[in-house]
Structure 1
Amino acid sequence: MKTRDYWVKTLIKIADPVLSNLEQRTLKEKMPSIEGRNREAFTHLEALGRLLAGMAPWLESSQKGKEEELRNKYASMARAAIDAATDPDSPDYMNFKKEKGDQPVVDAAFLAHAIVRAPNELLGKLDKRVKNNLIQAFYDTREIRPYFCNWLLFSAMIEAALFAMGEEYDSMRVDFALKQHEQWYLGDGIYGDGVDFHWDYYNSFVIQPMLVDIIRVLGNQYEDWGNLEQSVNKRAQRYAAIQERLISPEGTFPPIGRSLVYRTGVFQLLAQMALQDNLPEEVLPAQVRCALTAVIKGMLEAPGTYDENGWLRLGFCGHQPDIAEPYIAIGSLYLCSTVFLPLGLSSEDEFWKGEDRDWTAKKVWSGANMKNDHALY
């Protein structure tokens, strides 16, 4: 269990500055900003939504001993953070409205994804007042019209959370997102980001994780939505296979495309497939654990990743501010937490208990005899 302990310790290291300050309602006071970027209206919701999207399965789980004590502690902190973010009287009250730009729909969607991933700890245990404030915050985002790309899923994800909260949801926002992504499917497990293909990791940052969970929550509402479930999950499984093969024997992967400062968030989809027991047949859970551990160590232990107060800094592997696009803020970086989704599995699960195994690239580059790879048709 040393590997699991390492994952928990690393996740907590990332989470502490965000959740401890929100618990004390000092996030806006203490969280650093980036001079000249003008992202102060969005960065705090980015940090909360993206962090909890990755932490949620662990917070929702039931563990043992000291880990369970930690899980309980951080679940309580997460609920306090949601309260601080949605209470209009809080100094950390966050921006869910259009008046300063369209970005709030993005990070409200990551927060909504967290709610869907932890319906007991992050929804069922909320005080009625906090739940009502959260519902209103999600409704506030409806004035934002998403762009004609992966952003359609942000609106749909928020509607999925409202449905999970027992509220009226807008089926048209969901239907439009699902149908457009069917049209944007390019083959072999990959969707276009809108009508265009981008060599980046948005199939994992946003598209496939949200598609899988939107259909999981809402698939039984309409027959044609339910009919998508098998193909969406098969595509996600194939993309997870591709992601696993992208991890080199050294635990590195190609630095391709935009938003590379999300670091380990690149592997959200692979992590989610492990969490949901939907890995490809040829990919064993233990080899994913070993591959992702190599990635986590290489990226999140790189010198310069954190500042002197424990906040994440701009970079892909260390502090590399020039790699960050103009839309990136400090809060954006917390999407790295989504690599930790398998912490939602029991410590007795094969993902954690299986003996260490080499991942695909490590096996094939060492000369092991491997079956060939096949596209998804």
Structure 2
Amino acid sequence: MSIEAVGNPGGGFTQPVSQNPLKTRLDVQEALSQLLEPLKGCYSAGHSRLILGSSSKDAYANIAEMEGFSRILWGLVPAIAGGSHEELWELCLQGIRSGTDPGHAEYWGEVRDYDQRLVEMAVFGLAFALVPDRIWQPLSDREKSNLYQWLDQINHHPCHDCNWLFFHVLVNVGFHKTGLPYDAVLLEKNLQRIEDFYLGAGWYSDGVGGHCDYYVPYAFHFYGLVYAELMGDEDSERAQSYRERAAVFARDFVHWFTPDGAAIPYGRSLTYRFAQSAFWSAAAYAGLEGLSPGALKGLVLRNLRWWFQQPIFDRDGVLTVGYAYPNQIMSENYNSPGSVYWSLKTFLILALPEEHPFWLAEELEMTKTETGIGTGTRTGTGSMSVQEPAHLVICREEKAGHVAAFNTGHPSTNEHTHTSAKYEKFVYSTAFAFSVPRAEWGLSQGAFDSMLALSEGDHLFRVKRLCKETRIQEHVLYAKWKPWRDVEVQTWIAAGLPWHIRIHRISTGRTLDAAEGGFALGLGSLSSSRAGDGAASASGTFGTSAIYGMLGYDMAELIYPQSNTNLLHPRTVIPTLRAAMDPGTHWLISAVYGDPSGPGTPAIEEPSMEDVKERLGVEILQRQITITTQTGNVIVIPMD
């Protein structure tokens, strides 16, 4: 039987969410309505699937449509708990009846090991815990049995050994809260396994040896805080641990956000967009101590405002796959048209009643929020936060509202899409974002911003994918990596804004071409650009990007990457340095500049040693590089 959407796909909406001031609880309720209204005509006849993409009807499409249905619930369930959005809930409840009925044409089916549908079950656990009277009590005995049996499959199929374990936890917590049979043994086993992912200082890795990225705030801590709030009386010790870890993590994570609400684009699954602020919503929901309601309110609402000013919707108001604009190139292998609605987790705050301190508080500005939550070293132009478990140093430039995450790289890798671009660049910026490759040949296809790309003269470039060794000493990051068995690169980065210094020692057994990319600048309207004399720069609507070769480079050029490679802008320019190297040992040193303030090219000439030392503490004298840290520690790098 063919399953098609009923009504007008998209449905349209009366007022775009970009015009929502997002000041009050009513505004946030309205924002959720503005996001959901265009979807009403996209439900299947039995209302159990959300049809947002192609009309293909294979098994994967059916699962993707079920995924879209379930992800809406991350926003809808808290709204129902808070007393709103009743009309759409009745439609979804009918979809639950259809989707869990083995005799219905829209049955969600029998799951397999590591099945995507195991992911989508988690929100049902939240619903069982928050609104059992709305999801469970209205069902007939047969419908209750169908729903329970379908969800109970998660107790008989393994989940991936990462944040997925929390999906099993949430389903069983929901069972427990509703008085249904649940697997207490497997629940405890998974909770204990999650402990193996904890790195300390508030950070988790996404599985043993995994990366530290947004899955820490919008998965591990989000679910942990929900668990702490729901199970605080029954599992008080673990609940307290989750709360304490989240409070510690908050002091780091606050540095990822700019005063206007943008957050650092870094890692995978960035198409979930405003899930970036879901952690702050969970902190408010759990009443996390030490974080003022006004600070949390500002972090959530500014992030939502920033996102709703970006062109992230199609003409019907449906969220697209992409980051700051529709872009399939940066997406993940597991993304479907409905995946993006995982971002609705941020609407957990709608479960809070209108008299809650979160809604009554005045929104705090970012500077006050950072002071109240974050910790970090103050510098002449902003602040710096060393986040060692994540391999990052976060720099903030107050005047420009610019935040950048300097990155050592990681000791492991994986097969996720564009892993090198998403985890191994030298720096990730709120103002310039990062780029992913379009194809494999040449610099314009590779879009190697904030990377050192190496080639054997065949236009096929290799970049850092994993590291043999990493360390951080204050603002200085170090990594050792091997793009070939007979090529070893040692990289030092003296982090800072708007300038930072990169140093590479390359020991090669083969002839290589090197390309060192600066920040990717959105083209917009360029006011000036130049390349030559060992320096390249471009300045225009979106600021200035420049790179200067201090040692070892042969030439400079402006690379215009192919379209849709950058996460913020469809078209960009990357100031780039080039070098040719014979077998042997070579040193490459560059000064990289990024300022989003608007037109105004900086002086692209050799910074004096005094200027470099003042800004970043770097001196190059007599075949020796000396880096002086903010506390006066000295790092000496012999060049012999």
Q: TM-score range by the shorter chain?
A: 0.7 to 0.9
Give the corresponding residue for 1:270: 280
After TM superposition, the structure 1 = structure 2 runs for residues 54-65 of structure 1, keeping only pairs within 5 Å, are 54-62=75-83
Contact 2:232 2:240 in 1 (8 A): no
Confirm or deny that 1:98 pairs with 2:112: yes
The whole-number CA distance in structure 1 between the counterparts of 2:369 and 2:229 is 33
CA distance 1:182–1:339, change in 2 (3 Å): same
Confirm or deny that 1:52 pairs with 2:77: no
Pick from 291, 301, 317 the counterpart of residue 293 of structure 1. Answer: 301
After TM superposition, the structure 1 = structure 2 runs for residues 121-200 of structure 1, keeping only pairs within 5 Å, are 121-200=134-213
SS in 1 for 2:24: helix
Q: What's the CA shift for 1:245?
A: 3.4
Give the corresponding residue for 1:8: 29
Confirm or deny that 1:328 pairs with 2:335: yes
After TM superposition, the structure 1 = structure 2 runs for residues 209-248 of structure 1, keeping only pairs within 5 Å, are 209-214=222-227, 216-217=229-230, 225-248=235-258
What do the CA deviations read for 1:79-130 (whole angstroms, capped 9, x no partner)? 223223223344433245118x621111112332333233333334444443
The whole-number CA distance in structure 2 between the counterparts of 1:121 and 1:36 is 31
Give the corresponding residue for 1:65: none
Q: What's the CA shift for 1:165?
A: 2.9
The whole-number CA distance in structure 1 between the counterparts of 2:26 and 2:351 is 13
Contact 2:163 2:220 in 1 (8 A): yes
Larger radius of gyration: 2
Q: What's the CA shift for 1:289?
A: 1.9
The whole-number CA distance in structure 2 between the counterparts of 1:200 and 1:265 is 12
Contact 1:244 1:360 in 2 (8 A): no
What do the CA deviations read for 1:268-290 (whole angstroms, capped 9, x no partner)? 22101112221x42x32123222
Give the corresponding residue for 1:355: 362
Contact 1:14 1:311 in 2 (8 A): yes
Contact 1:50 1:334 in 2 (8 A): yes
Question: Which region of structure 1 is more displaced relative to structure 2, 71-80 or 247-256?
Answer: 71-80
Output the amino acid matched with 2:79.
Answer: W
How many residues get paired?
Answer: 361
Give the corresponding residue for 1:88: 102
The whole-number CA distance in structure 1 between the counterparts of 2:285 and 2:273 is 19
The whole-number CA distance in structure 2 between the counterparts of 1:34 and 1:250 is 39
CA distance 1:84–1:237, change in 2 (3 Å): farther
After TM superposition, the structure 1 = structure 2 runs for residues 105-124 of structure 1, keeping only pairs within 5 Å, are 105-124=118-137
Contact 2:284 2:293 in 1 (8 A): yes
Give the corresponding residue for 1:206: 219
The whole-number CA distance in structure 2 between the counterparts of 1:34 and 1:319 is 20
What do the CA deviations read for 1:144-167 (whole angstroms, capped 9, x no partner)? 211222222222222222222322
The whole-number CA distance in structure 2 between the counterparts of 1:17 and 1:128 is 33
What do the CA deviations read for 1:311-357 (whole angstroms, capped 9, x no partner)? 32101222121121111111211111011111112223222222232
Question: Which region of structure 1 is more displaced relative to structure 2, 315-324 or 89-98?
Answer: 89-98
Confirm or deny that 1:344 pairs with 2:365: no
Confirm or deny that 1:76 pairs with 2:65: no
Taking structure 2 as the reference length, the TM-score comes to 0.51
Contact 2:256 2:264 in 1 (8 A): yes
Contact 2:47 2:95 in 1 (8 A): no
Give the corresponding residue for 2:292: 284
Contact 1:105 1:154 in 2 (8 A): yes
**Gap runs ≥5 in structure 2:** 1-21, 372-378, 388-640
What do the CA deviations read for 1:211-261 (whole angstroms, capped 9, x no partner)? 33345545666xxx5421211111123334433332201211111111011
Contact 1:47 1:330 in 2 (8 A): yes
Give the corresponding residue for 2:549: none
The whole-number CA distance in structure 1 between the counterparts of 2:135 and 2:233 is 23
Output the amino acid matched with 2:208.
Answer: V
SS in 1 for 2:199: strand
Output the amino acid matched with 2:341.
Answer: Y
Give the corresponding residue for 1:317: 324
CA distance 1:2–1:167, change in 2 (3 Å): same
Contact 1:33 1:329 in 2 (8 A): no
Contact 1:300 1:317 in 2 (8 A): no
The whole-number CA distance in structure 1 between the counterparts of 2:48 and 2:148 is 22
SS in 2 for 1:40: helix
Output the amino acid matched with 1:177.
Answer: N
The whole-number CA distance in structure 1 between the counterparts of 2:91 and 2:240 is 36
Q: Which has the higher strand share?
A: 2
The whole-number CA distance in structure 2 between the counterparts of 1:38 and 1:122 is 27
Contact 2:81 2:130 in 1 (8 A): yes
Contact 1:56 1:114 in 2 (8 A): yes
Q: What's the CA shift for 1:37?
A: 11
Q: Which has the higher helix share?
A: 1
Contact 2:298 2:364 in 1 (8 A): yes
| Aligned residues with identical type, % of pairs | 24
Q: What's the CA shift for 1:172?
A: 2.3
CA distance 1:372–1:300, change in 2 (3 Å): closer
Contact 1:37 1:329 in 2 (8 A): no
**Gap runs ≥5 in structure 1:** 63-67
